[in-house]
């Protein structure tokens, strides 16, 4: 598979409004958009930096995956996403290599992306997302 670049870094925060201030007021980035991803029970704020972006992930539900993550590990970097040209081919290759996946099929992510997560047991503890988008 061809990894094109780091698509985004997902950061779990309790509040986009609170945590966003560092990225906007101190680093001078801009929150371009905030999207609700209902099936992940999360609001996602996008802060683009050239080909990549920071995504701030704020739970909308105490039982959502981001709320659970923050309860267990606190706020901080939650996952890293690598962009590929063709996610179906990438998943095929990962399966052939015997890599354990969280998602065996691509699903819809924020920003119209097709995404799939690799199991952190395969990656030295890092939650890795593969994503394809236009």
Residues forming the site for Zn ion (CB under 5 A): 10, 81, 129
CB of 55 to Zn ion, least distance (A): 6
Closer to Zn ion by Cβ: residue 81 or 87:
81
Q: How far apart are CA 7 and CA 109, in angstroms?
A: 12
The number of beta carbons lying within 10 Å of the beta carbon of residue 2 is 9
Q: What is the CA radius of gyration of the chain?
A: 15
The answer to whether residues 41 and 60 touch, using CB atoms and an 8 Å cutoff, is yes
CB of 20 to Zn ion, least distance (A): 17
One-character DSSP codes across 76-103: EEEEEEEEES-HHHHHHHHHHTT--BS-
Q: Which residue, 1 or 103, has its beta carbon nearer to Zn ion?
A: 103
Query: Which CB atom, from 96 or from 130, has the smaller least distance to Zn ion?
Result: 130
Give the nearest distance from C-beta 110 to Zn ion in angstroms.
7
Q: Which is nearer to Zn ion, 58 or 96 (CB)?
A: 58
Q: In 3-state terms, what secondary structure has residue 84? A: strand
Nearest approach, Cβ of residue 8 and Zn ion (Å): 6
């Amino acid at each position: 598979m061809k990894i094109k670049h780091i698509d985004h870094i997902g950061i779990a925060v309790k509040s986009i409004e609170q945590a966003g201030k560092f990225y906007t007021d101190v680093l001078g980035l801009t929150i371009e958009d905030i999207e609700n991803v209902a099936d992940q029970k999360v609001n996602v704020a996008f802060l683009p930096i050239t080909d990549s972006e920071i995504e701030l992930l704020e739970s909308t539900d105490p039982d959502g995956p981001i709320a659970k993550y923050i309860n267990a590990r606190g706020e901080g970097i939650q996952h890293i996403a690598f962009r590929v040209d063709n996610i179906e081919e990438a998943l095929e290759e990962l399966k052939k290599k015997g890599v354990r996946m969280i998602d065996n099929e691509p699903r819809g992510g924020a920003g119209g992306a097709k995404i799939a997560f690799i199991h952190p047991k395969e990656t030295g503890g890092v939650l890795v997302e593969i994503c394809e988008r236009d």
